[in-house]
Every structure is written in structure tokens, then in C-alpha cells.
Amino acid sequence: MAKVVNQTELAEIHGVTDVTLWQWQKEGMPVAKISTRGLPNEYEVPATIVWRVAREVKKVREESPRDMLYREQTKFVQLQIAEKQGLLVPAADIEQKFERLVVNARQRLMQLPPLMRGRLPPEVLTQLEEAIHGALTELASYGPSDPTDHPGAEEVGAADAPLDGGVGGGEEVPERQVPVPGEVRPLKDPVSS
């Protein structure tokens, strides 16, 4: 049987005042026997200890709105510092440069079949064109998340792109079109070099 004590004894066991015990009772601390006529209540010590531990664990696990705000403000300040130190770059800057690189790479790859025409057997040339087309299709479907979530993400090097060195597929997607940065230099002819 669990040890049963009165209020004064329980306050001593927990190292708190009687007032704290009354507050805890209001919060749900178990009472073995609620006495009447001015007599003290009785408590089972193990039950009160279990309740107090659960109460403290709950307080630690719950995050107050103030704690949440402080945590978010801290993250924001850390991001600002990292950006000023050059550790972070805005995604828009990276995306624009990456798109330009992809467009330039696409144009360079599309120059290969015409350059090799007449130097390679037709079946090898067809395989080269298919390999380039497949690589560009795969590259066009790349995205930070599922490419089907981003309509128009396939237009750089799209599957229906012409194999004549043109840029982009047949569709017009103005919000995703990227201007080509200057003229792309033609590939050097490996035979004449």
C-alpha cells in the first residue's frame, strides 16, 4: 500500500509550501482523501510524485507562443547573418544563372549533330541525336521537387524541341523563358583543328 500523508508532510516531501499544494490540487494533483471540518487532506505520495513529474515533462515539451516567436526570430537573424557573410544566396539569383547555363549547354549540344553530319555513319548520327535529345529531356524535367508540380518546367530543352539548334520547345512560356546571354560560340571542328 502506498504511503499516505497529510498536507504538511506532503509539502515537506516536495519542498514546497501549502499554498503551492493547493494550487497543484486546482491543476489536478491527485488527492487520496478530501477531508472536511478543517482536517487536512490526505495524499498518496507516489501518485503525487508521478503527477508532478508528468506536469514538469508537459511544461518542457510545450512551447509557449513567446518561445515560438523567439525561436523564429532567432532563425531569421541567423539567416540574415549568413546572407551578409555570403553563405546564402537568393534562390532567384541561382535559378537565373542556372537557366542560362542550361540554355547555353543545350545550344552547344544541339550543334554536335550538324557538325558531325558526313563524318559519322547515319545510324551513329541518329544515336547521337537520340542521346542528346534524351539528356536534354531528362535535364528539362529536373526540379527541386516533383517536376509535375511545376507547369512549364519542361520547356528548357523540351522533348518536342527542334533538333536544329533552336532554343526551347514549340510552346511559349514567357514567365519561364530565359534570354540567352550573348552569342553562343560554335563548337570547333575537331577535324580542321
Assessment of whether the complete model's pTM goes beyond 0.85: no
Residue 55, classed as helix, strand or coil, is helix
Q: Provide the pLDDT for residue 170.
A: 40
CATH assignment, 4-61: 1.10.10.10
Q: Which residues contact 115 (CB under 8 A, 6 or more apart)?
A: 187, 189
- CA-CA distances (angstroms) from residue 30 to 49, 50, 68, 101, 118? 10, 10, 31, 69, 92
What tens digit of pLDDT does each residue of 112-160 get? Answer: 999 898 889 999 999 999 999 988 888 777 765 544 444 444 444 443 4
Q: Which three cell numbers, joined as nine digits, stand for 103?
A: 540554355
CA dist., res. 4 & res. 29, Å (int): 14
Give the amino acid at 43. Y
Strands 42-44 and 4-6: antiparallel
What's the burial of 157, exposed, middle or buried (CB within 10 Å: 0-12/13-18/19+)? buried
Residue-range domain boundaries for the chain: 4-61, 89-193
66-89 confidence digits (pLDDT tens)? 888 998 999 999 988 988 888 887
